[in-house]
Structure 1
Amino acid sequence: MTVEIVNTGPVDTAAAGPRYRVAVRALCEFTAKTGDLDLRFTPSPTAQEGIAGHGVVTSRRDDDYEKEIALSGDFGPLHVRGRADGYDPKRNQLEEIKTFRGELDRMPGNHRALHWAQLKVYGHLLCAARGLPSLRLALVYYDIGSQKETHLVEEHASASLRAYFEAQCGLFLAWAEMELAHRAARDEQLKALRFPHADFRPGQRELAEAMFKASARSCALLAQAPTGIGKSVGSLFPLLKAAAAHGHDKIFFLAAKTSGRRMALDAVESIRAGAPLLPLRTLELAARSTACEHPDKACHGESCPLAKGFYDRLPAARAAAVREPMLDRAGVRAVALAHDVCPYYLQSELVRWADVIVGDYNYYFDVTAMLHSLTVMNEWRIAVLADEAHNMVSRARKMYSAELEHAGLRLLRKTAPGALKKALDRVHRQWSALEKEQDGDYRAYDALPDKFVNALQTAATDIGDYMAENPAWFDADVLDFYFAVLHFTRLAESFGEHSVFDVTIANRGAGGGTRVDSVLCLRNIVPAPFLQPRFAAARTTALFSATLSPWNYYSDTLGMPADTAWVDVASPFQAAQLTVHIAGHISTRYQHRDRSLAPIARLMGEQYDSQPGNYLAFFSSFDYMDKAADLFAREHPHVTVWRQPRRMDETAREAFLARFTATGQGVGFAVLGGAFGEGIDLPGTRLIGAFIATLGLPQLNPVNERIRERMQAIFGAGYDYTYLYPGMQKVVQAAGRVIRTTSDTGTVHLIDDRFARPDIRALLPAWWHVPR
């Protein structure tokens, strides 16, 4: 739903002025949804199945059948628009097509009521556009399984459809006018918004100006900006100013970790503290697993008390929520419980009314990302901020990869209902055939095995049909397998050179058995084709991090638009703050690691004795780390040593960091690329140095070699894109833990002879003084 200033034509109640654009679906969801939150009429067809189902239905119509009819109309300040599915001019029949599977009688009544509401609004818009005196309305329900259509038909005069349209608009009008007032007040305050601090930090103004210019040009931005300049405020502030100047409806601030989301919320609070009259609504998105109040209950009114009458109580909860400027996880929960509604689904509703939305990358960039879907449906004008964007490549690869384990299927075949046995057995047979034709432990395929994929699709359909026909039945293992298969088959539909299908043998039959277990992976290598529509849907997308060099690696792999701007913000730090040493006489290559332990322990001991304090020592693996820590502890018993545990929860993480006190002394041993290589802040004497005994290169294995081959074929830079750039990004991030403020000083030892190479040195921060 979007506010805009337009010149209006004849309207029902108001003169020309600010207009509120609202999609037909969004209008009806606001006015016509009542009753329980009920997810039992599941599983719904996938998006691809829905598109295919629409295609089947429309292909059965005559040649003069009109599809995807753009319609719009006005009511006072409301501008309502959308696309009707189809119109048969011979029968004067407008159709709304809905795909489903299972028994139609089990569809909750409030779902059907919503479908009729949408169709009636479309009916009025069509009558008004074409001067029709009456119209046949048909809800067409298409069963994905049986491919049968069920038609529910009503005849309506144009006058009755107009009355219905006006009634729905009337129900929404008061809210829309409130939103118009909110938007006007918000933008007025944003125009006058001043930077929340007395002055910009060094580098912060340059970052802010680049963000604003990218929004003005409506282009994407890659911004490399050093730690310590206040990137969260430095990026959010200019885009808030741009919201008023360039017409942004919303800003999505996306982060890789909880700490990044917290920094974004803190930045909002800082900005609002300097502008107490700013009516800025900020929403934090929490995962369902953390937001659910009753994880032991199903999402319907007969099971969960917060689903019972959800849509009846939603208006009051929504009205209360939008009066709260800060709706972090705790704030949403408080409002939800005060009105007896589900916090998770309340936050989903509040996305429509928030100005700044803070969440994880997946909410916008994932396969079924909610924020992207709503943006497209509502035609929002958005700005996207992605913090710590050096994580985007690995995170996006995971989003668009899928994995299945044969061992899990074997167990499922023993416990699944009899009606599913045949389909699961077929998957098992095709899977076993893949294992039998495999010589080694790993094999990558240039194409997907059609018979196996077809067996998966059949199994998904059978499970979906069984669940729809038996809504009271529940089996967590079957459900997990079902969703994993849906994800796999969805990605299989877009398989191409950006991905690889591979089989890894996990078990060859312990104790002399013949059974083979394997893991199948549809592994995304280049996420660019999937992310490009996300970039295209935003007015501007700014990816920022302290380590985004070389920019072409991120631009290529992520699929950034051709006109993407690049800014490398000068560091506020001076070379004199950081002493950098290269241990060029030591090799940390795998075959040299045992020989490297003694010289590394000696180097660390000499540094510590010359300047006692807190240090971090990074290694490429837990095994290497443990050997180095054991030797160092034996040879330097006077130095306190602690190390990163192999399995670490939040308590263990906090305990590790708690050892780094302002007056403490000792060495913390950690794994490069783990929890302590980035995202931690230990300013001043809490950390005075780091030892990095690795280039951080990914492990040499068949998977990474396949990635290297594909990167070479696509970009001509296989080794750099697979090993060198990702590895050095981890090194620079880890070293960046040492200097956090302009008053910090410290030492970094880069331990490996390859750090002396010119191509490696070129990837180190420009402000470092690295001795030759």
Structure 2
Amino acid sequence: MRALCEFTARTGDLDLRFTPAPSALEGMEGHRAVQQRRGAGYEAEVPLEGRFEDLHVRGRADGWNATLQQLEEIKTYRGTLDGVRPHHRALHWAQARVYGHLLCQARELPGLKVALVYVNAATHEETVLVEEHTAAALQAFFAEQCQRYRDWARAEAAHRQQRDAALAALRFPLPAMRTGQRQLAVAAYRTAQGAQDGEGGRCLLAQAPTGIGKTLGTLFPLLKAMPEGAGLDKLFFLTAKGTGHGLALNALAQLQVAPTPAAPLRVLDMQARDKTCEYPGSACHGDACPLARGFFDRLPAARAAALEQPAPWGAPAVRRVALRHGICPYYLSQELVRWADVVVADYHYYYDSAAMLYALTRQQDWRAAVLVDEAHNLLERARRMYTAPLSQFDLAAARQAAQGRVRKALDALQRQWQALNKAQGEVDYRTCDEVPPALLAAVQRAVGAVAEAQADQPLPPGDPVLAFHWELLHFQALAEQFGPHALFDVQRAGAARRTPASTLCIRNVIPAPHLAARHAAARATVLFSGTLGPPAFYRDLLGLPAGTAWLDVEAPFAAYQLQVRIAPRISTRWRDREASLAPIADLVAAQYARQPGNYLCFVSSFDYLQRVAAALARRHPQVPLWPQTQGMDDAGRAAFLARFTEGGRGVGLAVLGGAFGEGVDLPGTRLIGAFIATLGLPQVNPVNDAMQRAIDEALGAGQGYACTYLYPGLRKVVQAAGRVIRTEHDRGVVVLMDDRFQRAEVRALLPRWWRVERD
């Protein structure tokens, strides 16, 4: 029923001005308050269903008052009722009228009253809007909605049939699969097939080396699995970086020109809002942006034009359709998700707390499969998604801009904050076992005050109060879910200890509790990367189910292709940095003289990079150097990589874990070697030490150091070294510059196919 009304009943402007939305708990409490007031004979949560030709519509009406002959649709709001936008109210009326028809049909009623009951989340005060309809009028309304939806539904069913037939016949686009690629494809296919046998939430962790074609090796089997059994509705290909979009789209294009008829596959490339906004200085509502004005009135024609377009829905194609119909490209792409077969998007579209793809999967009951590209990045990305810092400087800016009750609430929050600062004493950083209740209460009051004031008089985008309010909302939501998976910490702001300000943070350590429901909502999830070991580390921290399958694909490369040497007489520890400069410079120069060509030298920080570059320039000026610079933009990164030409000579200096440590493809003689002068271990600091202790408590003693320092560091090392050998024909060298690379626990994390030597 919801899908029907959302498709047919929304009219008017797109209006994304902040309206204080009630939480799910407030919504349930509002429903319960109304239902309990109605007395004996009132029916709550009435299941209803009906048919129109080949459409089956079902749902639950919030309430039926037989005494008044009144069907009620209950909606909870915050602030004032005027804050409920017109397109939302039109949707609410449509839902209520459809339920009215279904009830008249089920109970053979001649007519009834249809009521929208708006409940204030704070006071539970009701505003009841009533319409009276005959059964015939409601039946006509229902028929009109269904007729508008029916043609689309039939076209969608026909598309699905054609799509599934084409995918069943789909063949691999290359003459043969590469070594290891078939193994990966079979495991991915079995994961999806197992889910379709009735076991939702099946997961696969797949570690597969560079060069086997992971993108094609996961997309092909999942597409083949879509029409099998009950069938998959959607496939989400999720990436950590923009480069992943291009790889996925190229692989899908390859499949479309496979030696079989092209599948009528609707591929949608979701781009970030800031990259697609046509009026970045305008707010998203009809009074400010011409592409929001009348959005829902013009959406049907734009949607139809997009569906008639055979090409994939890339950002340029969606933009052309949107502008031709005078609507926003970004929000058109969001609407097209419902009609897409494959969606290529950033991680946050499925894994974030407000993730659109996850919400739609739940609402629409989609059978979706998820491919997570370069999945080693998901841990840090998820930690950031579920971390909420609050700056006292931002509070100060909000207080300065606030007035009336909002200023009073923010002043009260400032007092609680200052009490924490006082308890901090002379300590720069400390953690607490919980979010202090008095602080959380002050946050909740401030959130409520801003929401009520905003409902009365909306604040403009960029207002310090509104900006701080968004931060408070995120903090409040995570505080309500606080547990052993997170830290609450207080950190002094500024270098001077007497600075009377701090940063409060709910810091996620183990995102598993947040991600587990998202894995369960997908029929199948395949997480793949060149570095996903040890599997227990990712399984435990990412919230994967106990039965998650593990696949470690053998590299297609031979040990003779890559010479790996350890330089045991070099230490890159902090205390040894100065002493390491000359040996590093000499070793790089010696290797370059022995085998001239293009090399990358990775170090731990920009400061260290500058010192290594200076030592090289001073001691070996004949070696061409091009260092990465801090804050390098897209053009700078492209220029850096352009220096790596076939047959070229020189040494690029880069920071490990940065832009050039992964996702860079320099085959052949464009890159013949890498020097790695660091273990990549995260900085030892109070925050990381606190995370180490939290993981020890959650997963067991000893796990904290490995999970916080060792595994993330060595993952970056292996990723950087993986830039050297990209094909079966490449040859190269990797020099690991630190004595700690000799340790057994470190060697165990290096690729099995490496044959490691000592200098």
Question: For this structure pair, what is the TM-score category when the shorter chain's length is used for normalisation?
Answer: over 0.9
8 Å CA contact 1:509–1:516 kept in 2: the answer is no
The equivalent of 1:368 in structure 2 is 354
- 1:34-64: CA deviations, max 9, x gaps? 1221233723334444344334444544476
The one-letter code matched in structure 2 to 1:496 is: G
- Check if 1:347 corresponds to 2:347: no
The equivalent of 1:19 in structure 2 is none
Shift of 1:516: 1.2
- 1:49-103: CA deviations, max 9, x gaps? 4344334444544476554444333222222233333344555543222122233
Shift of 1:169: 0.7
The equivalent of 1:399 in structure 2 is 385
1:57-456 matched pairs, under 5 angstroms: 57-62=34-39, 65-88=42-65, 91-132=68-109, 134-218=111-195, 219-246=202-229, 247-274=231-258, 275-324=260-309, 325-439=311-425, 440-456=427-443
- Check if 1:651 corresponds to 2:628: no
Shift of 1:311: 1.1
Tell me which moved more, 718-727 or 63-72: 63-72
8 Å CA contact 1:220–1:560 kept in 2: the answer is yes
- The 2-side partners of 1:561 and 1:63 are apart by 45
State percent identity of aligned pairs: 56
8 Å CA contact 1:505–1:519 kept in 2: the answer is yes
Q: 1:110 aligns to what SS in structure 2?
A: helix
- Check if 1:577 corresponds to 2:561: yes
- 1:720-756: CA deviations, max 9, x gaps? 1111111111111010011111111100011111211
1:449-488 matched pairs, under 5 angstroms: 449-471=436-458, 473-488=460-475
Tell me which moved more, 119-128 or 519-528: 119-128
The one-letter code matched in structure 1 to 2:225 is: A
The match for 2:503 among 519, 523, 536 is 519
* Structure 2 spans left out of the alignment, 5+ residues: 196-201
8 Å CA contact 2:283–2:461 kept in 1: the answer is no
- Check if 1:721 corresponds to 2:698: no
8 Å CA contact 1:251–1:382 kept in 2: the answer is yes
* Structure 1 spans left out of the alignment, 5+ residues: 1-23
8 Å CA contact 1:688–1:738 kept in 2: the answer is yes
- The 2-side partners of 1:286 and 1:476 are apart by 26
Tell me which moved more, 593-602 or 568-577: 593-602
The match for 2:15 among 20, 28, 38 is 38
- 1:559-594: CA deviations, max 9, x gaps? 101221111112111111100001122222222222
Tell me which moved more, 723-732 or 116-125: 116-125
8 Å CA contact 1:41–1:107 kept in 2: the answer is no
Q: 2:281 aligns to what SS in structure 1?
A: coil
How high is the TM-score relative to the length of structure 2? Answer: 0.95
Tell me which moved more, 103-112 or 318-327: 103-112
The one-letter code matched in structure 1 to 2:213 is: G
The one-letter code matched in structure 2 to 1:306 is: L
The one-letter code matched in structure 1 to 2:454 is: M
Q: 2:600 aligns to what SS in structure 1?
A: strand
8 Å CA contact 1:282–1:327 kept in 2: the answer is yes
Q: 2:682 aligns to what SS in structure 1?
A: coil
Q: CA distance change for structure 1 residues 213 and 152 in 2, over 3 Å: closer, same or farther?
A: same
RMSD: 1.8
- 1:634-655: CA deviations, max 9, x gaps? 1110001111111121111112
- The 2-side partners of 1:615 and 1:602 are apart by 14
How high is the TM-score relative to the length of structure 1? Answer: 0.94
Q: CA distance change for structure 1 residues 595 and 139 in 2, over 3 Å: closer, same or farther?
A: same
The one-letter code matched in structure 1 to 2:546 is: A
- Check if 1:493 corresponds to 2:493: no
- Check if 1:605 corresponds to 2:620: no
Q: 2:282 aligns to what SS in structure 1?
A: coil
- 1:159-187: CA deviations, max 9, x gaps? 43333222211111111111011000000
- The 1-side partners of 2:70 and 2:296 are apart by 31
Q: 1:154 aligns to what SS in structure 2?
A: strand
- The 1-side partners of 2:624 and 2:395 are apart by 48
- The 2-side partners of 1:718 and 1:378 are apart by 40
The one-letter code matched in structure 2 to 1:288 is: R
Q: CA distance change for structure 1 residues 112 and 41 in 2, over 3 Å: closer, same or farther?
A: farther
8 Å CA contact 2:208–2:529 kept in 1: the answer is yes
Shift of 1:131: 4.9
Shift of 1:265: 0.9
Shift of 1:473: 4.8
- The 2-side partners of 1:152 and 1:702 are apart by 57
The one-letter code matched in structure 1 to 2:398 is: L
The equivalent of 2:659 in structure 1 is 675
Q: 1:507 aligns to what SS in structure 2?
A: coil
- The 1-side partners of 2:350 and 2:340 are apart by 15
- 1:413-435: CA deviations, max 9, x gaps? 12223442111111111111111
Shift of 1:126: 3.5
Q: CA distance change for structure 1 residues 669 and 148 in 2, over 3 Å: closer, same or farther?
A: same
Q: CA distance change for structure 1 residues 701 and 135 in 2, over 3 Å: closer, same or farther?
A: same
Tell me which moved more, 158-167 or 534-543: 158-167
1:757-772 matched pairs, under 5 angstroms: 757-771=743-757
